[in-house]
Chains A and B, each alone.
Chain A
Amino acid sequence: MSKKIGDVILDLQNISLRFGGVKALTDISFNVRQHEIRAIIGPNGAGKSSMLNVINGVYHPQEGQIFWHGQERKRMEPHMAAQQNIARTFQNIALFKGMTVLDNIMTGRITKMKANFIEHALWFGRAKNEELEHRKKVEEVIDFLEIQHIRKTPVGRLPYGLQKRVELGRALAAEPSMLLLDEPMAGMNVEEKQDMCRFILDVNDQFGTTIVLIEHDMGVVMDISDRVVVLDYGKKIGDGVPDEVKNNEDVIRAYLGAGH
C-alpha cells in the first residue's frame, strides 16, 4: 500500500488546559500531517478526550497556539470546526435515538445545506434538488459502511457496534478533511473491531481523510496508525511511529503502572 503523507495541517504548540485548579493538559505540542492516521493514547484520565476537544473547539486552552493549515486559530467554536471540515464521533454515542439511520446520517450534511428554513419546511425551491443531492451522498456513505439493511431502522433499536458505525457514517457524510474519532472501538467485540478498522483504513485510503483517533486497544492502534502520541497525566511522554513508541521507556512505565 502506498500512501502519500502530506504537510502538517494541524500544529499544536505548548497547549495547556486547566479547569480551575485541575491541570488537564500541560504544555503539549504535536502536529498532524495530511492523510495520516494519528493516534492519541494514554491511560485513563491522561487528557486524551480533552485534547480532542481542544482540536474541535469545545475547550479553549489557556495557553498555547493552534495552527490550522498554517493559520493561527484564535478562539473557535465547534460549529466553526464543522465549517472547516473537521468532523468527529463521540466516546459515548451521541446520535438521535428516535430517528432512522438514514436521517441521522443526513444530519451530517447540515453544514452543506444552502436552502433556508422556509424552503425546507415547504419543500420547494432549492430544498428539493438539494435534498436529492444530499441523499445521494448519504446513500454512498451507507453503501461504503455496508449498512443498507438498517437504513430505515431507528438508531435506538440497533446494537452498540452498529450505532458506532452509524456515528462514523454521520461524520463521513460531512465529507470531512479531518476526522476525529473518540474511542471508535470501545465496547466492541473482535469482529466489530475488525470491521471498524477496515472502515477507518478505507476512509483514510479512499477519501484521503486525515484521521485523529483515541483508542485503548493497543493492538489496533499499533496496527493502523502512522504516528502515535502518548499522554500521561496531561503531559506528553511519547511521540513517534508505533515501533518507537512501543519501545519508549516512559510509555512502558506509564502503561505498566510503575509508581509516580
Chain B
Amino acid sequence: MPTQANYASLDGLHTFPRLLFHHATIRPNAPAMREKYLGIWQTWTWSDVAERVRALACGLSSLGFKRGDNLAIIGDNRPHLYMMMAAAQCLGGVPVPLYQDAVAAEMLFVLQDAGIRFAVVEDQEQVDKMLEVLPQVPTLEHVIYDDPRGMRHYNQPFLHDIHELMEMGRIHDRNHADFLNAEIERGHFDDTSVMLYTSGTTGKPKGVCQTHAAFIAAAQGGVQVDRLGADGDILSYLPMAWVGDHLFSYAQAMVAGFTINCPESGETVMTDLREIGPTCYFAPPRVFESLLTSVMIRMEDAGKFKQKMFHHFMDVAKRCGADILDGKSVAFSERLQYWLGNLMVYGPLRNVLGMSRIRVAYTAGAAIGPDLFKFYRSIGINLKQFYGQTETCAYVCLQPDGAIKFDSVGPPAPGVEIKIADNGEVLVKGPMLLKEYYKRPDATAEAIDADGYFMTGDAGFLDEDGHLKIIDRAKDVGKLSNGAMFAPNYIENKLKFFQHIKEVVCFGHDRDMVCAFVNIDVGAVGNWAERRGIAYSGYADLAGKPEVLELIRECVEQINANLIHDSMVADSQIHRFLVLHKELDPDDDELTRTRKVRRNFVAEKYKVLIDALYAGKANQFIETEVKFEDGRRGKVSADLKIIDAKTFPIVKKAA
C-alpha cells in the first residue's frame, strides 16, 4: 500500500469523486470549470459540476458501465470530458484519455489493448474515427459524443448525445437515490484512477495504471510546494492524454479546488490565455520558446525608441531580474532600474503574454534552454521546471521558490526518494509510482527493481545541494569512437535555443565526429529572410537558401565555441550538418505526439543523408514520402547541401 504523508489531513477524501463532492459541499458556488462558447466564458460551479457528474455517472451505469470498465476519452479539453473522467471514477471505472489528433489507426491499439466498451468523444470527427475502427474493436459497445453538430444523420443505436445520457442518468438517480453514493463509498484509494498510455517512443504504447492515492499524493505535493489555493485559475489546453494535463487540470484542481479553463479552440489559446490571466500555467519548453520568438519578431517591427527601451531594460532584467524574483540581495540602484523597467516593459510584456497574474508557470517534457528559462524569470514570471514521467504522475522533482538553478530540475519533491544507479540512471521511489502497466506484468517487473525503485531511463546526477541534473535519455547517451561521452539531447537543446532553429537531431555514437540535421523555424527564418529581401516559396525552398545555411552555420559555430568550455562534451562539437528539406512531423512518425524526436526512426529513414554526412560529400539528393493531414501521401525531394562548420581546439584545463 502506498505511504502517504497527509492522509490524515485528507479526512477520508482519498478518491477523486470524494474530493469533487467535498468541494461541491464546502464551496458550491465557486467556479470549478469555464469554457468559452460563442465568445463568452461560460462557468460551471462546483455544485453544477457535481450535479452533472452524478447525472453522467448514473447515465453510464444505466448503459451498463461497470466497476473495472475502461472508458476511452477522446477530444480537446472540454468540461464535459473532464466531468466524464470523474463520472467513470465514481463507478469504479477507469478513464483512458487518448491523444485526440491521432488518426483512427493509431487509436486502434489503445482501444484494443484497454478492451474499451465505452468511449466518450468530443465531436463528429472523433465519432467517425470510432465508426472506422468499430469492426476491429469488437468490445466497443457505446459511443457518447459531446458536440451534436453534424450528427443529425447518424442513427446508429449505440451513439448517444451526452445530454441524453445526462437525462437518462437524472431519471436513474431519482429512482435509485442511494445507488451512486454507495458506488462512491466503494471506491478505494488503491484503485486505479486513470490509465495513461506512454507515447511509445520505443515499441508499442503501454497503459500506465495510476491509483487515486498516487495522483492525489503527487497533486498534494505540488500544491504544497507552490502554495496553490482554491482561488487559482489554470488554462487547460494540453492534450488530456498527457500526464501533465491530468496532474494539473484534474488532480491538482480536485485537490486544491481551483478553476480549470478550457479554451475556445486550439487556435485561440493565446487570446484565451490573455483573457483568463491564469495563476498557474504549464507548457512544454517549445511553447515558451515560440512565445519568446513571437515577442522578438514583433519587437523587430517596433519603432526605434521602443526597441531601445526594450533592449535597455532587458539588459537590466538579465542582470538582476532573476535575483529579485528569488529574493536575493540586489543593489538599490539596480532595484530602482528594475522597478522602472517593470513599469515600462516587463509589466506590459507579461500582460501581452497573459501572465500578469501568474503565481507559478511550469515547464517539463524536455530540457529548456537556460537562456530561455532566465528570460522568463528575469521579467518576473516564476517559471519552474519540474521533472517526472507518466509512470510517476509527472512528479519527481520540483523547484522550490528561492532555490532555482537554471540547469537542474530541483530537489526531490516531498515524499519522493531518488537514487542514482551505477550507470548514471535516475531511480525514483515514492507514493506516486505506477501501480502497474496494464496487462503487462513483464514490463512492470522490468521497470521497477527489487527495492521498489522505478527506473526512469534518464541519465543524471545529484549536485552538491541535492538538486537533480538530467543529462539525456540513458539509452541515447553514447560514446564517440575516441571514447568521449556523446549526449545528443544536450547539444540539440543548446542549438534549439536559437530562434531560427526549431529542431535538431545529432548523430555521433560510435563515430569519429558529431554531425547534425537541422530544421529551421519557418516563422523566424521567414521573417529574417523577408527583412533581407530574400524571396522564397515554401519551407523546402527557404531551407535551401545559401543565406539561410550561412545563418545556421553561424549558430552551429557559436555552439561549438561554447562547447569547448565544458570538458565533458567538448568532443561533441558539430563538424558537419545539413538543413532538412521538410519539417519533422508526428504524422510522418518522425516525432512522437508530444513532439519528441524519434531518433532511431529518423536515423533509419534518412540513412542516405547520414551516410553522406560522414562520407564527406558536399551534397546529397533525397526523396521522402510525406503524409498530409487528410491521410493522402505525397513526395518531396531536394538536393541538400552539406555544410562544414568550424570547430575549435579543446582547451585542456591545466592539471
Contacts and interface: CB of A to CB of B under 8 A. Distances in A.
B152 A206 contact: yes
A149 B39 contact: no
A202 interface: yes
B303 interface: no
Interface string B616-655: 0000000000001110000000000000000000000000
B38 A146 contact: no
A73 interface: no
Given A139-B39, A149-B264, 7 more contacts: A1-B153, A135-B39, A136-B38, A142-B39, A149-B271, A152-B271, A205-B150
B268 A149 contact: yes
B58 to A, nearest CB: 30
Contacts of A148: 36, 39, 264-265, 267-268
Interface in B177-228: none
Nearest to B269: A149
Interface range on chain B: under 10, 10 to 19, 20 to 34, or 35 or more? 10 to 19
Interface string A233-247: 000000000000000
A1 B150 CA distance: 11
Interface in B17-74: 36-40
Contacts of A223: none
Contacts of B268: 148-149
B630 A194 contact: yes
A140 B630 contact: no
A2 interface: yes
B642 to A, nearest CB: 32
25 contacts: A1-B153, A2-B153, A136-B38, A139-B38, A139-B39, A139-B40, A140-B38, A142-B38, A142-B39, A144-B149, A148-B36, A148-B39, A148-B265, A148-B268, A149-B264, A149-B267, A151-B39, A191-B628, A191-B629, A191-B630, A194-B630, A205-B152, A205-B153, A206-B149, A206-B150
Contacts of A206: 149-150, 152
A161 to B, nearest CB: 14
Interface range on chain A: under 10, 10 to 19, 20 to 34, or 35 or more? 10 to 19
Interface in B112-154: 149-150, 152-153
Contacts, number: 38
A202 B150 contact: yes
Interface in A182-212: 191, 194, 202, 205-206
A194 B628 CA distance: 13
Contacts of A144: 149
B265 A146 contact: yes
B378 to A, nearest CB: 30
List the 9 closest A-B pairs by CB distance, nearest first.
Answer: A149-B267, A139-B38, A149-B268, A139-B39, A148-B264, A148-B268, A148-B265, A1-B153, A143-B38
A207 B356 CA distance: 43
Nearest to B632: A190
Contacts of B150: 202, 205-206
Contacts of B152: 205-206
A142 B271 CA distance: 15
Nearest to A198: B150
A191 B628 CA distance: 9
A259 to B, nearest CB: 38
Nearest to A149: B267
Nearest to A141: B38
Contacts of B38: 136, 139-140, 142-143
Interface string B594-618: 0000000000000000000000000
Contacts of A142: 38-39
Nearest to B267: A149
Contacts of B271: 149, 152
B560 to A, nearest CB: 39
A149 B268 CA distance: 5
Contacts of B40: 139
A140 B36 CA distance: 13
Contacts of B39: 135, 139, 142, 148, 151
A244 B490 CA distance: 64
B613 to A, nearest CB: 34
A194 B36 CA distance: 27
A202 to B, nearest CB: 7
Interface in B143-172: 149-150, 152-153
Contacts of B36: 148
Contacts of B153: 1-2, 205
A151 B628 CA distance: 27
A142 B153 CA distance: 23
A136 B629 CA distance: 32
A205 B150 CA distance: 9
A219 to B, nearest CB: 14
A156 B314 CA distance: 33
Interface string B343-382: 0000000000000000000000000000000000000000
Interface string A119-149: 0000000000000000110011011101011
